[in-house]
A and B are shown apart, each in its own frame.
Chain A
Amino acid sequence: MYKAKVNVTLRPSILDPKGKAAHHALENLGLNQVEKVRIGKFIELDVNADSEDAAKAVVEQACAKLLANEVMEDFTIEIES
């Protein structure tokens, strides 16, 4: 069994209103050192596969078909055994 950690983030070119709102709130908290906030999704999957590569291939399909919308989002995958 492999554990996959997927991060889905908005593409850099796309405005992130949630990140902007959170950034604004952080400024109100006095945390002015924070220069930028981008909000994405973190997804964990347990994958039954024979090898790390096979697990990664499955998760890549899952991301491309469902978990991320590649029109506006990018994803990264980390596999842990």
Chain B
Amino acid sequence: MATFGVIVFPGSNCDHDAYHAMKHVLGCETKFLWHKDTDLSGIDFLIVPGGFSYGDYLRSGAIARFSPIMQEVVKFAEKGGPVMGICNGFQILLEAGLIPGAMMHNHQLRFVCKNVFIRCETTDSLFTGSLEKGQVFDIPVSHGEGNYFIDQDGLKSLQDNDQVLFRYSDAKGELTESANFNGSIDHIAGITNTGRNVLGMMPHPERAMEKILGSEDGKPIFESILNSLSVA
């Protein structure tokens, strides 16, 4: 069975949510990895969790991407190792250049903390392989800088290569303007790299694992990952 690693930066605050989701809800071997660690041996899947690493100084993720462990994460990803960045983790992976684009302030300039709907856009990835295209998930978001930006050429290449894994939609899966609450280009909520082994997403599936906490729609996403890892 796969071993999960959850990276802890000074200022991470969803590290325990991710750990709880993987270890206690799904029963997977899971380890915390301190940002000064450089040893990823025995880890099959890396989670870069949400939070405010280094106080979001300069730009979200800009400082964290130079942490000792991030150099190893880049090597791990370049060798094809699966990496999932959630929220601040997504911002860190963008800053590290593992996935293209950048994050701007939400267009209404407010921090948004609520449940939103995201739609699965492709099943062609190890993260979404067991989901259905068009399937809608009720997942919390909690960010001030989640307004995804990429230039037109970059956007076209994301679309042409089927790299958009999740878009913000309404409950029926329609891409309405109000569903795109943070102003992200093309409703983008989650993307993968061209190697399809790195996922960055702003919504928090790890916070939607138990009915008692409001939604368990995050579970199928992690179960899809587990399915892919057990086949690999």
A contact set with B: CB distance below 8 Å: 13-15, 17-18, 21, 66-67, 69, 71-72
Enumerate chain B residues within 8 angstroms of A13, measured Cβ to Cβ: 151
Check B109 for interface membership: any CB of A closer than 8 A: yes
Asked whether A71 lies within 8 Å of B149 as measured between CB atoms, the reply is yes
Interface residues in B, total, Cβ within 8 A? 18
The 8 closest A-B pairs by CB, nearest first: A71-B102, A72-B102, A17-B109, A69-B102, A17-B107, A17-B105, A72-B149, A21-B109
Q: How far is the CA of A14 from the CA of B151 in the complex (A)?
A: 9
Closest to B95 in A: A69
Check B104 for interface membership: any CB of A closer than 8 A: yes
Asked whether B108 lies within 8 Å of A17 as measured between CB atoms, the reply is yes
Closest to A65 in B: B66
Asked whether B104 lies within 8 Å of A72 as measured between CB atoms, the reply is yes
Enumerate chain B residues within 8 angstroms of A69, measured Cβ to Cβ: 59, 62, 95, 102
Q: How many A-B residue pairs have CB under 8 A?
A: 32
Closest to A68 in B: B59
Q: Which of B62-83 contact A (CB under 8 A)?
A: 62, 66
Q: How far is the CA of A17 from the CA of B109 in the complex (A)?
A: 7
Given A17-B106, A66-B66, output 17 extra A-B contacts at Cβ < 8 Å. Answer: A14-B104, A15-B107, A17-B107, A17-B108, A17-B109, A18-B109, A21-B109, A66-B58, A66-B62, A69-B62, A69-B95, A69-B102, A71-B101, A71-B149, A71-B151, A72-B102, A72-B149
